[in-house]
Amino acid sequence: MKSLVLFALLNSLGAGGGAASAAPPLHGDQLYRMTLLRAAPGRLLELLEAVKGKTPWIYRHSQGDHWDLMVLAPAGGAAEVPKAAGAAPLAGEELIAWQEDEWVRGPDLAALPGFAAAGLAHIEMFHALAGKRAELLRQRAMENAYLAATGQPQTALFVRESGASWDAFTIGAYRDWRHYAEAREVPEDKDEAAARAAGFAGRTAIGPYLRALILDHHDTLATPVR
């Protein structure tokens, strides 16, 4: 299976080495159903009520992409993607103007520090260039090593198994908007050293390297729905 090959690749990359290797992994083989929803006009609050409580991992768009909700539902102990007929509707179709579903592999979010109590999430979704998905996943692992070295929250990585077109997406967890802003205040010398130690040519090379691997990516700031 392609997902197992990619999972092995991420394991070989590690989580930055040293003490970080003892922490819960930021990638994994847990199967999730990821659903993006846009509410029918005037029905957002009803849609929120319909999906609330179905999974701990529901995010409401605040700034960025065009969807209203991301619903990330663990597929229990499933080792394989359930058949389409087994995926129960999340809400009545009268509440939904647009929906996109994807099965992905990722970490156990409940085991990751800061995710259960987060007040804000930064979600990045990627379409890789042809033949570049494995290198994109490597870049994501390198960036997590950089984030760890600079004291910034690392991101959970999810990899496409089947369904929609996203090759991968990451979720970063923050206490609140202030934490999100403060996390980027890193001294220049520490920033540069961390980037080089993670395998980048330098801090200013992180973004250009990512863009050399992707067709596009969408950023969203979202708040957890509880």
DSSP-derived letter for residue 49 is H
C-alpha separations of 165 from 32, 126, 143 in Å: 15, 9, 23
C-alpha separations of 225 from 2, 10, 31, 163 in Å: 32, 29, 21, 24
Fold for domain 2-224?
Answer: Alpha-Beta Plaits (3.30.70)
Q: Nearest-CA neighbor of 106 among 6, 165, 26? A: 26
- Strand 69-74 and strand 30-39: the pairing is antiparallel
Q: Is 46 helix (H, G, I), strand (E, B) or coil?
A: helix
Q: Please tell me the predicted confidence (pLDDT) of residue 118.
A: 97
Q: Please tell me the predicted confidence (pLDDT) of residue 87.
A: 66
How many C-beta atoms surround the C-beta of residue 114 within 10 A?
Answer: 13
Q: Please tell me the predicted confidence (pLDDT) of residue 11.
A: 52
Amino acid in the structure at residue 79: A
Instruction: Render pLDDT for 92-105 as a digit per residue (tens, 0 to 9).
Output: 999 999 999 999 99
Q: Nearest-CA neighbor of 28 among 160, 163, 161, 157? A: 157
Directed axis angle between helix 133-149 and helix 2-13, to 10°? 30
Residue 143 CA to residue 205 CA, distance in Å, equals 11
Domain ranges of the chain: 2-224
DSSP-derived letter for residue 136 is H
Q: Please tell me the predicted confidence (pLDDT) of residue 23.
A: 57
Q: Please tell me the predicted confidence (pLDDT) of residue 202.
A: 94
Residue ranges, the chain, pLDDT below 50: 1, 4-5, 7-9, 12-22
Q: Nearest-CA neighbor of 35 among 109, 85, 81, 101? A: 101
The beta strands (E) that lie in the chain are given as: 30-39, 57-64, 69-74, 96-106, 120-128, 155-163, 168-174, 214-224
Q: Please tell me the predicted confidence (pLDDT) of residue 217.
A: 94
